[in-house]
A and B are shown apart, each in its own frame.
Chain A
Amino acid sequence: MSSYVTGIGVISAIGKNVKENLEALLAKRTGISCLTLFESTHDVPVGELKLSNEQLQQMLGLPITKTYSRTALLGMVAVKEALTDAGIKTNSGLRIGLISSTSAGGMDLSENFYKEMLAKPNGGRLRNVISHDCGDSTEKIADFVGIRDYVTTISTACSSSANAIMLADRMLKHNLLDVVVAGGIDPLCLFTINGFSSLMILDNELCRPFDETRAGLNLGEGAGFIVLQREDTLKDKKPYCQLAGYANENDSYHQTATSPDGDGPLRAMAGALKKAGLKPEDVDYVNVHGTGTGNNDQSEGTALKRLFGDKIPHFSSTKVYTGHILGAAGGIEAVYSILSITHDVVFSTYNFKNPMTDIMLTPVVDTIHNAGVNVVMSNSFGFGGNVSSLVFSSLKK
């Protein structure tokens, strides 16, 4: 028994809703540009949403005088869209849960608080620190949309929101909840820009996933959530597709790097297929983690070859459009995977030119329409060896 996807919501550098994101993906329009929302000495391209917090608050009908973390605001937009899309009312008597995830939490505000506190003891406005922890945005979003039955938050670096989706499915199966909104959020902030910069894995140009010339990732911001339901609560709602399988494994190789033989990623992908009862040849499209770092793409590429052999399905990294949205990447790319099935389309890594010499794999470089997409795999790999893979399948399969 698998759960059904009945709603999707997304906000990113390429649009503030599903429609805008889909249009940009189909038109191969990247959202990677200069950082404008705050000052940093790092001149790196980012996938920034060109809306201020104030504009987001206006969009959501929230008082401008109140302070919200960007994390909470981005999440409210995507969760609201997903619930509306699913036609779920939070006062319907169903047990509804929100399982969110983030790597930065309310850091976009607390890093400013910390700076002021360093300058002088008792410095810093308290309203900028109370939303620091990861649970804050989840509770704010739940209040905003009226979810009262269950909230929790996951943080496993860049696999966070894929893991949130797994927990959602398991809670539905155990009949602990009837409907779950699951996904993740991350805002751009100085903390993560400096963190990835200190690791020397930020590209100064547009990232080039799976390309021999790749030089790192571009950070992005946004939120992606999906609504999952058990069959018995669907009523006459026609779902988009099923969450057919998933797996979370630990690569157990290094705190930040993935194993060169792709051992962990391979186990995550194979585990997800096994749980789905599918074979590698059933997969029509893989939305790869594909960050554009030397290590990730080499490891993931090796794992793809080990799993699929000579018959590599269509694959692409949509991070050339959105940037790497860390804790939200799995949620946003789950939405894109679902769109791939429902619109029967494969998205592209449009700027790809040169295959990696040791792996020689070529991602899809042009949008493919009528691609016959029934099964999509979505990969998310994070720090701490945390590797996750989700498999969505059309209702036909």
Chain B
Amino acid sequence: MKSCYIENISSISPQNTFGTEEFLDNIVERNPEMPYLSAIEPDYKLYILNAGLRRRMSHVIKMGVAAALECAKGSSVENPDAIITATGLGCLADTEKFLNSIVVNHEQLLNPTAFIQSTFNTIGAQIALILQNKGYNFTYVHRGFSFETALIDAMMQLTDDEATRVLVGAIDEITPSEYEVTKRLGFWRNGAVMGEGAQFFMLSSEKTESSYAELIDVHQFQLKDNEKADDRINSFLDKHSLTMKDVDLVVLGNSGDKLLDVPFQNFKSEISSNTPTAEFKHLCGEYHTAASFGVWCIANILKRQKLPFAMHPNGKVDKLERVLLYNSYQNVNHSIYLLEAI
């Protein structure tokens, strides 16, 4: 595939990541009264100008649309050739709202707004409507593979010259009942913390002065019998004629769950102690598309040539030219990303 450059990025997350020049300088800890990491929301009036539209939009739509518009605005071309969104659970609050109205109103005289907005491609569609974008518009909804397929799709578009700029974003929200259900399912029993957020990336086939990083490749996989993640990571590097020695930093998407993080422990023990590692899910929380926060961090690391203390508290790095991200969702959906400095 052809080179693919990250021209602009944006993030609405549980950290101060939106509308600021700082990069994880002042870490926001979880509110001890809350069991999860909620996103810090901007003043949406500044981003979604139509008041009626803004009022109708749910939390996840506002996060997605504001992050997308901010990312597009800071790019050399505001209107991309394609818009690709990724989400694990889509517009969950609207889904619950409509389900609730079915039960409470006994299926009669229901307001369609929540139903309309519950559709998984609502955020991608709203971005297109606001930008009056008539191009390719896809939404991927596959757990810990949603964001990965979105990036692969974008890279294919750029390689085929079907697009020169693709806006790719990942969005997921927390709802109180989702927290209760996942808690009952044991998701937060072993150390992981639930999170949410919206990350958008303007990908371009052209390098510009302000580009953040080059996205070299993305690979998603499920482990077959007796297979280890290390083998897949090594063969991924091998495909690019690289070994772990050529990687300056490994960013790990471990969730903090001591049972599910086993592949990360194995991987860390495999790689040489000369390769520094960093983490990010303690900052954004765990969700289907949390890897997008990791990619947002790496784009910043490569552009600013700075590794935040919060991601890598003990140690130092010699250089920051090539970064590998290994992510896993529930130890089922695994993915590897390779990024390089411009």
Q: Residues 367-397 of chain A: 1 if any B CB is under 8 Å from the residue's CB, otherwise 0?
A: 0000000000000001111100000000000
Q: How far is the CA of A352 from the CA of B6 in the complex (A)?
A: 52
Closest-by-CB residue of B relative to A114 is B99
Q: Residues 125-153 of chain B: 1 if any A CB is under 8 Å from the residue's CB, otherwise 0?
A: 11011001111111111110110010011
Q: How far is the CA of A112 from the CA of B29 in the complex (A)?
A: 37
Q: Decide: B125 and A194 in contact? CB cutoff 8 A.
A: no
**B124 interface contact, C-beta 8 A:** yes
Q: Decide: B135 and A190 in contact? CB cutoff 8 A.
A: no
Give the chain A neighbours of B112 by CB distance below 8 A: 195, 198-199
8 Å CB contacts to B: which residues of A211-245? none
Q: How far is the CA of A23 from the CA of B160 in the complex (A)?
A: 41
Binding site of A, secondary structure by majority: helix, strand, loop or mixed? Answer: mixed
Q: Decide: B89 and A133 in contact? CB cutoff 8 A.
A: yes
Shortest Cβ gap from A80 to chain B (Å): 20
Among the interface residues A167, A173, A195, which one has the most CB atoms of the partner chain B within 10 A? A195
Q: List the one stretch of B102-110, B297-305, B314-322 in contact with chain A.
A: B102-110
Contacts A135-B145, A248-B138, A249-B134 given: A157-B152 contact, CB under 8 Å? Answer: no
Closest-by-CB residue of B relative to A195 is B115
**B266 interface contact, C-beta 8 A:** no
8 Å CB contacts to A: which residues of B205-244? 220, 222, 224
Give the chain A neighbours of B115 by CB distance below 8 A: 191, 194-195, 198-199
Q: How far is the CA of A111 from the CA of B107 in the complex (A)?
A: 13
Give the chain B neighbours of A40 by CB distance below 8 A: 107
**A295 interface contact, C-beta 8 A:** no
Q: How far is the CA of A389 from the CA of B117 in the complex (A)?
A: 24
Q: How far is the CA of A138 from the CA of B143 in the complex (A)?
A: 10
- CB-contact partner of B140 in A153, A199, A255, under 8 A: A153
Q: Decide: A250 and B137 in contact? CB cutoff 8 A.
A: yes
Q: How far is the CA of A152 from the CA of B152 in the complex (A)?
A: 11
Give the chain A neighbours of B146 by CB distance below 8 A: 135, 152-153
Give the chain A neighbours of B149 by CB distance below 8 A: 152, 167
- CB-contact partner of B142 in A134, A163, A385, under 8 A: A134
**A343 interface contact, C-beta 8 A:** no
Q: How far is the CA of A111 from the CA of B95 in the complex (A)?
A: 10
Give the chain B neighbours of A135 by CB distance below 8 A: 88, 141-143, 145-146
Q: Residues 82-123 of chain B: 1 if any A CB is under 8 Å from the residue's CB, otherwise 0?
A: 010000111000011011101100111011100111111110
Contacts A129-B181, A155-B121, A252-B132 given: A199-B108 contact, CB under 8 Å? Answer: no
Q: Decide: B139 and A155 in contact? CB cutoff 8 A.
A: yes
- CB-contact partner of B90 in A136, A155, A252, A255, under 8 A: A155
Shortest Cβ gap from B72 to chain A (Å): 14
Q: Decide: A156 and B139 in contact? CB cutoff 8 A.
A: yes
**B159 interface contact, C-beta 8 A:** yes
Shortest Cβ gap from B321 to chain A (Å): 26
Q: Residues 48-86 of chain B: 1 if any A CB is under 8 Å from the residue's CB, otherwise 0?
A: 000000000000000000000000000000000001000
Give the chain B neighbours of A167 by CB distance below 8 A: 138, 149, 153
Give the chain B neighbours of A94 by CB distance below 8 A: none
Q: How far is the CA of A251 from the CA of B121 in the complex (A)?
A: 14
Q: Decide: A384 and B119 in contact? CB cutoff 8 A.
A: yes
Q: Decide: A156 and B181 in contact? CB cutoff 8 A.
A: no
Closest-by-CB residue of A relative to B118 is A195
Q: Decide: A157 and B142 in contact? CB cutoff 8 A.
A: no
**B265 interface contact, C-beta 8 A:** no
- CB-contact partner of A156 in B88, B98, B121, B134, under 8 A: B121
Give the chain B neighbours of A198 by CB distance below 8 A: 110-112, 115
Q: How far is the CA of A248 from the CA of B82 in the complex (A)?
A: 10
**B46 interface contact, C-beta 8 A:** no
Give the chain B neighbours of A114 by CB distance below 8 A: 96, 99-100, 103
Contacts A41-B106, A152-B142, A191-B98 given: A267-B134 contact, CB under 8 Å? Answer: yes
Give the chain B neighbours of A345 by CB distance below 8 A: none
Give the chain B neighbours of A148 by CB distance below 8 A: 222, 224
**B274 interface contact, C-beta 8 A:** no
Give the chain B neighbours of A195 by CB distance below 8 A: 98, 112, 115-116, 118
Q: Decide: B116 and A255 in contact? CB cutoff 8 A.
A: yes
Contacts A133-B88, A134-B141 given: A156-B132 contact, CB under 8 Å? Answer: no
Q: Residues 102-134 of chain A: 1 if any B CB is under 8 Å from the residue's CB, otherwise 0?
A: 010100000100110110011000100110111
Give the chain A neighbours of B34 by CB distance below 8 A: none
Shortest Cβ gap from A384 to chain B (Å): 3
**A174 interface contact, C-beta 8 A:** yes
Q: A41-B106, A155-B141 are in contact. List 15 more A-B contacts (CB 8 A).
A: A40-B107, A133-B89, A133-B288, A153-B145, A155-B90, A156-B137, A167-B138, A176-B152, A194-B98, A197-B107, A197-B110, A198-B111, A252-B128, A384-B121, A385-B125
Counting from the closest, the 10 A-B pairs by CB-CB distance are: A384-B125, A155-B120, A195-B115, A198-B112, A135-B142, A153-B142, A135-B143, A198-B110, A134-B141, A152-B149
Question: Chain A interface (Cβ within 8 Å of chain B)?
Answer: 40-42, 103, 105, 111, 114-115, 117-118, 121-122, 126, 129-130, 132-136, 138-139, 148, 150-157, 163, 167, 170-171, 173-174, 176, 190-191, 194-195, 197-199, 248-256, 264, 267, 382-386
